[in-house]
Structures are given as structure tokens and as C-alpha cells.
């Protein structure tokens, strides 16, 4: 007997029908999946074809652009355009908002098509992160910069591992794996583990002495209780936290010996990094906050590439560090 697993398409069909929704969301998801598969192909063949190096220019964040960043951006914008369902998109790789189908579109898509750039030259895991919000169908449209709490879905592909995690508003966080036909199948609901023995802590230890003193003290007092893991790719590191529980953090950098290197607003981008993992985390029973202990999903972006500090993971652990953040 052949064992057939439920496909992502069937899972989404069930979901849309259960909540009496249109199929427009399926068309958008199909576009994102096509983009992710296409990016994965370029990534897997990147070393052979010489695509894992620098492109030779600098992006809006002042970072060197990689050849793969450009490829991933071009692919994603192509598929979003072809879907006909997107009003505009915000991408890490584009300074300005990208108009797509401004009259007929239905969704806003906020994405980083290749996150975790330090892994790229090595062909190690990177992420394709996205958040989706819907046009205001009743009444006038607002500023299009939605807070995470207003996303209807958020997800991440960990490239090139063949895993995809998707969170749907009030309907859980689900992980899919690739089958032999390259379809994403077998949805598994992700609920953050309550078993503290499995919990992991994830942050860049090279920065620890640059964090606020109360954060440094919290680390001192708590780090030995948990396993430590850090890949340097938000999607990969958060993927582990969703599986095992614990906390990923990228705190504000406020004590760098070279003050120019301080990042009082954190490093990660709110709309297409922090809010995306915060949304997935909430649907899996967890929570995320910024450096002031404010829930990440409540942060209203004022501009597309806004940065934020991030503490995301199991609620008891994030609540615990939030207590010292508030002091």
C-alpha cells in the first residue's frame, strides 16, 4: 500500500472552506511556494554556478548585496506579480514599496527572500520569510504598514532543507516537509514544548557584552539551564525553537566599545523578520517582545524597514526576561 500524505494545497483548501473564505489566498500561497522552490533550485546549484558570492552593490540597509539576494528578489517579485493577487510588497531587497497590482490586488506581502546572509557563501541554511496582510475590504484603506497582529498569515521556508512552516491567523502553526515529488506535505501542528529540559537558548554570543546590563545579568543567571544553539539565520534558529521550545533573542546593542556600532533599535527588521516569527510563535502558543517588553505583534511600523530588538519563544522564558527588560 502506498501511503499518501495530505498536501499543502489540500490542507489550504480545507482551511479556506472551513472558514468560508475565497480561493484567492491559495493562489497567493501557490505563488510563494513556486518562488521558494525556484530560489531553492538556484541555491542548491549556487556553488557550481558561482552564484554564492557578492553582487557588487550595497542595499538600503548599507549591507553588501549577494548575487543570491538579487536572484531571490527577482524570482519572488515575478511570482507575486503573476499571481495578480498582491497590491504591493515590501522586501528587504528594495528600498521602496513595490507596487504590484494596486487596483485589483487583495493582499500586502512583506518578505525577505534570503535571510541569514552569512550562511550563503557556505551553502548553509537560509530563510525565506513572509507575512501577509489583507486589504481593508470594508471602508477606506489605511497606510498599508500593518502591525503583526493584523497579519492573516506568516511563514518561512528554510532553504535548502525542504521544510516550510506556515501560521494561519487563529488556526495554528503548521510544519510541512517535501515529498518525493517536491510537494510540501504532511502538516504537523507545532505547539511549543512545555518540557523545559528540551528548551534551547539562541543568540549571538559574540555580542553578549554589548547588550544592556540587565540582559547580560539575565543571561549570566540563566544560560546554564539550557542548551545553547546559534546558526546565524533567523529562520533556522527559530525553526529549532518551534520544535524544542526555549528562546531566540537579538537584543538591542547598547554597550559596544565603538559607539558607532551600537544598535539601540536592534538589528532585525520588524515587518518581514520579527513580526513574521512572532506571528508563528503566537500561533504555536508562544510570545515575542521587543527591548521594552512590548509585544512584537503590537508594534505599529512607521516605515517599511524599521528595526526592532527581538525576544521570541516559550512564554514563561520570554515573560521572565521581559520582567528585567521593564526595569
User: Rule CB under 6 A: which residues touch ligand FDP?
Assistant: 115-118, 204, 232-234, 237, 267-268, 273
Q: How many CB atoms lie within 10 A of CB 327?
A: 7
Distance between CA atoms of residues 33 and 76, nearest Å: 10
The least CB distance from residue 18 to ligand FDP, in Å, is 33
Q: How far apart are CA 8 and CA 165, in angstroms?
A: 11
CB of 194 to ligand FDP, least distance (A): 25
Identify which of residues 105 and 127 has a Cβ nearer to ligand FDP in the complex. Answer: 127
Measured from the CB atom, the residue of 66 and 167 that comes closer to ligand FDP is: 66
* Least separation in angstroms between CB 225 and ligand FDP: 22
118 or 217: whose CB is closer to ligand FDP?
A: 118
Residue 117: CB minimum distance to ligand FDP, A: 4
Q: How far apart are CA 254 and CA 87, in angstroms?
A: 38
Q: Comparing C-alpha atoms, which of 105, 171, 112 is closest to residue 133? A: 105
Nearer to ligand FDP, 28 or 75 (CB): 75
Q: What are phi and psi of 325, to 5 degrees?
A: -65, -35
- Residues written for the chain: 327
The residue among 100, 88, 94 whose CA lies nearest residue 144 is 88
Is residue 113 packed enough to be buried (19+ CB in 10 Å), middle (13-18) or exposed (0-12)? buried
- Specify the residue, 117 or 262, whose C-beta has the smaller distance to ligand FDP: 117
Shortest distance, position 175 Cβ to ligand FDP, whole Å: 19
Q: How far is the CB of 14 from ligand FDP (least distance, A)?
A: 32
Please, which residues bridge with residue 253 across strands?
A: 263
Tell the residue number behind the cell numbers 524570482, with chain if given.
Answer: 75
Is 87 or 318 the residue whose CB approaches ligand FDP more closely?
318
Amino acid at each position: 500500500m502506498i501511503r499518501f500524505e495530505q498536501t499543502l494545497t489540500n490542507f489550504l483548501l480545507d482551511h479556506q472552506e472551513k472558514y468560508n473564505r475565497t480561493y484567492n489566498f491559495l493562489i497567493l500561497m501557490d505563488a510563494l511556494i513556486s518562488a521558494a522552490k525556484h530560489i531553492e533550485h538556484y541555491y542548491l546549484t549556487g556553488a557550481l554556478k558561482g552564484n554564492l558570492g557578492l553582487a557588487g552593490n550595497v542595499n538600503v540597509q548599507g549591507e553588501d548585496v549577494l548575487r543570491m539576494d538579487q536572484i531571490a528578489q527577482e524570482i519572488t517579485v515575478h511570482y507575486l506579480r503573476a499571481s495578480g493577487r498582491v497590491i504591493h510588497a515590501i522586501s528587504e531587497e528594495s528600498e521602496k514599496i513595490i507596487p504590484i497590482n494596486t487596483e485589483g490586488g487583495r493582499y500586502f506581502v512583506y518578505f525577505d527572500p534570503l535571510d541569514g546572509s552569512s550562511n550563503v557563501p557556505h551553502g548553509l541554511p537560509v530563510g525565506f520569510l513572509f507575512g501577509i496582510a489583507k486589504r481593508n475590504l470594508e471602508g477606506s484603506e489605511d497606510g498599508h504598514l500593518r502591525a503583526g497582529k493584523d497579519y492573516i498569515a506568516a511563514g518561512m521556508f528554510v532553504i535548502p532543507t525542504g521544510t516550510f512552516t506556515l501560521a494561519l491567523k487563529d488556526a495554528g502553526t503548521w510544519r510541512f516537509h517535501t515529498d518525493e515529488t517536491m510537494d510540501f506535505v504532511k502538516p504537523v501542528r507545532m505547539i511549543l514544548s512545555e518540557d523545559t529540559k528540551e528548551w534551547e537558548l539562541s543568540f549571538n554570543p559574540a555580542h553578549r557584552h554589548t547588550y544592556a546590563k540587565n540582559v547580560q545579568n539575565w543571561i549570566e543567571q540563566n544560560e546554564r539551564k539550557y542548551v545553547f544553539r546559534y546558526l546565524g539565520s533567523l529562520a533556522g534558529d527559530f525553526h529549532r525553537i518551534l520544535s524544542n521550545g526555549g528562546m531566540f533573542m537579538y537584543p538591542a546593542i547598547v554597550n559596544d566599545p565603538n559607539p558607532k556600532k551600537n544598535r539601540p533599535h536592534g538589528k532585525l527588521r520588524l515587518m518581514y523578520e520579527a513580526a513574521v516569527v512572532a506571528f508563528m510563535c503566537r500561533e504555536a502558543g508562544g510570545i515575542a517582545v521587543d527591548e521594552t517588553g512590548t509585544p512584537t505583534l503590537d508594534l505599529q511600523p512607521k516605515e517599511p524597514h524599521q528595526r526592532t530588538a527581538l525576544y521570541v519563544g516559550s512564554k514563561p522564558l520570554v515573560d521572565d526576561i521581559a520582567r528585567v527588560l521593564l526595569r
